[in-house]
Amino acid sequence: MKINYILLIFSITYVIVTSCSTSNDKADAYGNFEATEVLISAESTGKLVSFSVEEGDVLPQDVLVGYIDTIPLSIKREELMVAREMVVSKSRSILSQIDVLKAKLSTAQLQQQRLERMLKDNAATLQQKEAVDGEIEVYKKQIRGVEIQNAPVVNELKSVDVQLKLVEDQLSKCEIRNPIAGTVLTTYVEPYEITAYGKPLYKIADLKNMILRAYINETQLASFVIGQEVTVKIDSENQMKSFKGVIRWVASEAEFTPKIIQTKEERTALVYAIKVEVVNDGSIKIGMPAEVWMTGKE
């Protein structure tokens, strides 16, 4: 009787352990690694005078990797600079006339003030005062006339300045600077080729911080929270290699299971996509399959 009791306890324990072991041997989600790929395109048209980008290069942000021929734009800038100097010279000539008229106006206004005082003391005549008043009005009209002449010149100068800014912007876009730190995946051009605005030059991606896009079912949604730490496993030579991951996104709408990672029967099931960020030590590649394990379960 005692032996049968012991055997019963052993059987129950075995079933429980086996059950737990079976559930723990299965990952919580499966998916593939991806990275944010950025396609770098030309922002100007011309000959690619320099281009020092090779596939596999690790580039820092804002580094100069090449430039497009700037001679036509440089010539255009020189022409605009000469035109600007001519407009400025014309404006200076007009402004000098205004300065002369303002000086005469100031002198006449002083004379007007003096005559007003003398007129109170009967030391000047009203005729003298009226003559100065008329002279002041003439100078004011002349100043307004010259200012009207200067208005088109000012507008012309503004137009040249706008064109200069446009050329400067185009010149700056002849410099090809890498916008993000990352690894070059593909190049599409070679030095001395003729490129055009919008033509792809190379593709780059940040491979230090990889994104695992995996899928979970509806019953798992409550367990996967943004910011939660999980364990990510990939295939290795002897055993699976583990990484720490952080859930960065959980889809708000369901979708059919992707065909590339599931059987035909499972493709009809609705699942929710998640994104897990993983720091890459160099062993993770784009498209590589991986497993997601809840922390503590692995």
pLDDT digits (tens, 9 = 90+) for 172-183: 999 999 999 999
Query: Structure pTM?
Result: 0.68
Residues 42 and 99: their CA atoms lie apart, in Å, by: 50
Q: What is the pLDDT of residue 276?
A: 97
Q: What is the pLDDT of residue 174?
A: 96
pLDDT tens profile 8-41: 333 334 333 333 433 456 889 999 999 999 999 9
User: Which two tokens mark 231?
Assistant: 């364990």
Dihedral sign computed on CA atoms, order 35, 284, 41, 62: positive
Best CA proximity match to 291, nearest among 5, 18, 33: 33
CATH architecture of 28-37+206-294: Beta Barrel (2.40)
Residues 21 and 293: their CA atoms lie apart, in Å, by: 14
Contacts of 42 (CB under 8 A, 6+ apart): 48, 68, 176, 195, 196, 197, 198, 199, 201
pLDDT tens profile 109-121: 998 898 888 888 8
Q: What is the pLDDT of residue 158?
A: 94
CA 225 to each of CA 21, 25, 211, 249: distance values in angstroms, whole numbers, following the listed order: 25, 22, 16, 8
Q: What is the pLDDT of residue 72?
A: 92
Q: What is the pLDDT of residue 19?
A: 39
Query: Which residues in the chain come in under a pLDDT of 70?
Result: 1-25, 259-268, 296-298
